[in-house]
Structure 1
Amino acid sequence: MQSNVVTCPNCGKRNRVPAVADGKPRCGNCHHWLPWIAEAGDHDYPEVVEKAGVPVLVDLWATWCGPCRMVSPALEQLATERAGQLKLVKIDVDRAPAISKRFSVQSVPTLLVVDHGEVVARQSGAAPVAALRSWLDNALAAHGTTKGGQ
């Protein structure tokens, strides 16, 4: 299973964070929550996204898409702000045609909020971080998902 190396926003230590885990990632040095950023595709979407113990922000993007590259840092910022509360999963639509078809992706970026396998919010197009934060907060609040980080 794949993993990413993430720098702890609290102490700066680099940590290996798996795409799939039973709990939520914590820094091995200071034990603060780490941003959980992973990639998924057609073959591992159910395990990486649907079985996550926290809400998942799914970024359906493409390498050739300028707005996708512009929104990516904003999504990573949100994942960092909500470390321990949210998982960000990036899916390249060109490498995951079944996922693209499943969610009827017509344009990229398309963002989904998925909680326990259920899509609770959807948005197409890039937006500034403040607008994305508001959209995400509203989606989580409407679905009754707390931001407590338990």
Structure 2
Amino acid sequence: MNNDTTGLLQIACPHCHAINRVPGARLGQAPACGRCHRPLFTATPLALNSAAFEAHASRSQIPLLVDFWAGWCGPCRQMAPEFTKAAAQLEPRMRLGKVDTEAEPAIASRFGIRSIPTMVLIQGGHEIARQSGAMPASSIVQWASAQLRG
């Protein structure tokens, strides 16, 4: 991520997926999308299909933490509310998204997802870290934050 908080960052809108230029210093000031005028940060994970995934993983300049999950997976259902709690703590430093591996098998295959739930941290379109298994919100926040510091 661009650590210069005065520079412009490209941020994908969670609603219309348009790319917005936002001064880094304004990330915490509830910026709105220039196209749809809705908030750029919602403190909730996004459900990502292939088009939305590309906008947030490759074109946005903030890291994307993705939870790969499936509806039939008990640990995935257990972790879902924890991932939502983590989103409230991690935004706007990073965007959180969810990929249903049943609905989007191509994305899961692209990242070699073999077990779920698996979280993958993506920056600039590239995986920088991954963690498998259900975790509480505090551990998700701690793990994701440590990956950005390291």
TM-score by length of 1: 0.72
**Equivalent residues of 2:75, 2:133 under 8 A apart:** yes
Matches within 5 A, 1:50-129: 50-129=58-137
What CA deviation, in whole Å up to 9, does each residue of 1:65-96 have, x standing for no partner? 11111111111112111222211111000011
Name which of 99, 123, 130 aligns with 2:138: 130
Q: In the TM superposition, what is the alpha-carbon distance from 1:98 to its structure 2 partner?
A: 0.9
Amino acid at match of 1:51: R
Give how far 1:22 is off: 2.6
1:43 Cα offset (Å) = 4.3
Confirm whether residue 49 of structure 1 aligns to residue 57 of structure 2. Answer: yes
Structure 1's consecutive aligned runs of 4 or more residues displaced over 4 angstroms after TM superposition are none
Distance 2:31 2:52 in 1: 25
The 8 Å contact of residues 36 and 86 in structure 1, kept in 2 or not, is answered as: no
Please give the root-mean-square deviation of Cα atoms over the aligned residues, in Å.
2.6
Q: For residue 113 of structure 2, give the secondary structure of its aligned residue in structure 1.
A: coil
Q: Which structure 1 segments of 5+ residues have no match?
A: 1-15, 143-150
**Partner secondary structure for residue 18 of structure 1:** coil
- Alpha-carbon displacement from aligned partner over 1:27-68 (angstroms, at most 9, x marks no partner): 77xx89532531222344212322122111101100111111
The answer for the alignment partner of 1:140 in structure 2 is 148
Deviation string 1:93-135 (CA, Å, 9 cap, x unpaired) is: 0011111111111111110111111111101110122222221
| CA–CA distance in structure 1, aligned partners of residues 108 and 97 of structure 2 | 14
Alpha-carbon distance in 1 for matches of 2:97, 2:134: 16
TM-score (norm 2): 0.72
* Partner of residue 35, structure 2: none
Does the CA contact (< 8 Å) of 1:55 and 1:114 recur in 2? yes
Unpaired runs of 5+ residues, structure 2, are 1-12, 33-38
Count of residues in correspondence between the two structures: 125
* C-alpha distance in 1 between matches for 2:41 and 2:100: 26
Cα distance change on mapping 1:99 and 1:33 into 2, 3 Å: closer
Q: Please tell me whether the aligned partners of residues 20 and 52 of structure 1 are also in contact (alpha carbons under 8 angstroms).
A: no
Letter aligned with residue 138 of structure 1? A
Counterpart for residue 10 of structure 1: none
Aligned-partner SS, 1:76: helix
Would you say the 8 A contact 1:17–1:36 is kept in 2?
Answer: no
Cα distance in structure 2, aligned partners of 1:57 and 1:137: 11
Answering whether residue 30 of structure 2 is matched by residue 22 of structure 1, we say: no
Matched to 1:129, the amino acid is A
Q: Which structure's residues are more often helix, by fraction?
A: 2
